[in-house]
Copies of this chain bind each other. A is one copy, B any other.
Amino acid sequence: MRIITISREFGSGGRELGKRLADALGYDYYDNEIISQIAKNLGLDEDYIENTLSNHNWQDFTLTYNETIGSSYYDQMDKVNLLIEQKNVIEKIATLGKNFVIVGRNADIILEKYEPFNIFVCASMESKIKRCLERKNKDKSYTKKVLEQKIKKIDKNRSRTRQLMSDLTWGNPQNYHLTVNTSNIRIASLIPAVSSYVNNWFSEKEKSTENNQ
């Protein structure tokens, strides 16, 4: 089984890279499917799970959710519980034994024992802001300054959530097999070479495993 994990800075196009890579390689692709599964398992609303897990609650949580949902202590407990359930779902996916690409969710840490190929996707702030503005979503309505603040906050949250699970620092290239900078380049144009890199890497590793047996 070959697993590719994609970690990425917000706005770097990591999700697009993951999806296109899965398509090119004929692998399964997991992203929001995981949220749906958690929702089903726990009988909770998908939007609520998405909001709590996504780190997109980049504006201070207390200002937006607390009055309806409760104290920030309980919100944090909810987040921890959801992270545990997310971990369960991801581990379940791996037991299916099929090749897959998974985006975010600290899957590189959770799936470590399966020796996945781990990609980190980064880009310059200018390029990340540009990508956010091109997306067909609410990011369009933000000013560049507010977008930059949002990007930094989301990435800080991603980095902190990772600290819960591992000492391997988020975004440090030593902790990934390949780190791709998507500044000023079409994601689609990178896919043939990244696919080829990943295929070579797995072939090499499988060869050396065979030789050691």
Q: How far is the CB of A2 from chain B (nearest CB, A)?
A: 15
Question: CB-CB contacts of A169-202 with B at 8 A, as 1s and 0s?
Answer: 0010110111111001110011011101101110
| Given A173-B171, A174-B122; A193-B185 close (CB under 8 Å) | no
Check A193 against B196 for contact (C-beta < 8 Å). Answer: yes
Q: How far is the CB of A213 from chain B (nearest CB, A)?
A: 17
In the docked arrangement, what's the CA distance between A181 and B179, Å?
Answer: 8
| Given A173-B179, A174-B122, A181-B176; A197-B204 close (CB under 8 Å) | no
A10 at the interface (CB under 8 A from B): no
Q: How far is the CB of A20 from chain B (nearest CB, A)?
A: 13
Other-chain residue from B124, B190, B203 in contact with A200 (beta carbon distance below 8 A): B190
Check B181 against A173 for contact (C-beta < 8 Å). Answer: yes
Check A186 against B173 for contact (C-beta < 8 Å). Answer: no
A100 at the interface (CB under 8 A from B): no
Check A200 against B189 for contact (C-beta < 8 Å). Answer: yes
A-B pairs, 6 with minimum CB distance: A179-B179, A193-B197, A193-B196, A173-B179, A189-B204, A173-B173
Q: List 13 A-B contacts (CB under 8 A).
A: A124-B174, A173-B179, A173-B181, A174-B181, A176-B181, A177-B181, A179-B179, A179-B180, A184-B205, A189-B204, A190-B201, A192-B196, A196-B196
Name A residues whose Cβ lies closer than 8 Å to a Cβ of B: 120, 122-124, 171, 173-174, 176-181, 184-186, 189-190, 192-194, 196-197, 199-201, 203-205
